A and B are shown apart, each in its own frame.
Chain A
Amino acid sequence: MAELHVELVAADRKVWSGEATIVIARTADGDIGIQAGHQPVLGVLESGPVTIRQADGSVVIAAVHGGFISFADNNLSLLAEITELADEIDVARAERALERAGAAKDAGAERRAETRLLAAQRR
Chain B
Amino acid sequence: MGAQLRVYRRRIRSVSATKKITRAQELIAASRIVKAQQRVAASKPYADELTRAVSAVATFSSTQHPLTTSVERPTRAAVLLVTSDRGFAGGYNSNAIKAAEQLIKLLEDEGKTVDRYVIGSKGIAFFQFRDVDLAGQWKGFSDRPEYTDAKKVAGELIDAFVTPTDEGGVDEIHLVSTEFVSMLTQSPVAVRVLPLAVEETDEPPAGGPFPLYDFEPSAEGVLDALLPRYVESRIFNALLQAAASEHAARRRAMKSATENAEELIRTLSRLANNARQSEITQEISEIVGGANALADATAGSD
Contacts and interface: CB of A to CB of B under 8 A. Distances in A.
Interface of A: 7, 9-14, 27-29, 32, 39-44, 67-70, 72-73, 77, 79, 81-82
B118 to A, nearest CB: 23
Interface stretch (B14-22, B49-57, B246-254): B49-57
Contacts of B53: 42, 68, 70, 79
Binding site of B, secondary structure by majority: helix, strand, loop or mixed?
helix
A68 B226 contact: yes
Which size bracket describes the interface of B in this complex? Answer: 20 to 34
A100 B151 CA distance: 22
B222 interface: yes
B233 interface: yes
Interface of B: 39, 42-43, 45-46, 49-50, 52-53, 56-57, 146-147, 151, 208, 210-217, 221-222, 225-226, 229, 232-233, 236
Contacts of B215: 41-43
Contacts of A69: 216
A6 to B, nearest CB: 12
Contacts of A41: 213-216
| Top-10 shortest CB links A-B | A43-B216, A40-B211, A11-B147, A42-B213, A44-B225, A72-B211, A41-B214, A13-B42, A40-B213, A27-B216
B217 A11 contact: no
Nearest to A39: B214
Nearest to B50: A79
A12 B42 contact: yes
B217 A28 contact: yes
A42 B49 contact: no
B221 A12 contact: no
A67 B228 CA distance: 11
Given A42-B56, A42-B57, A81-B151, A12 B217 contact: no
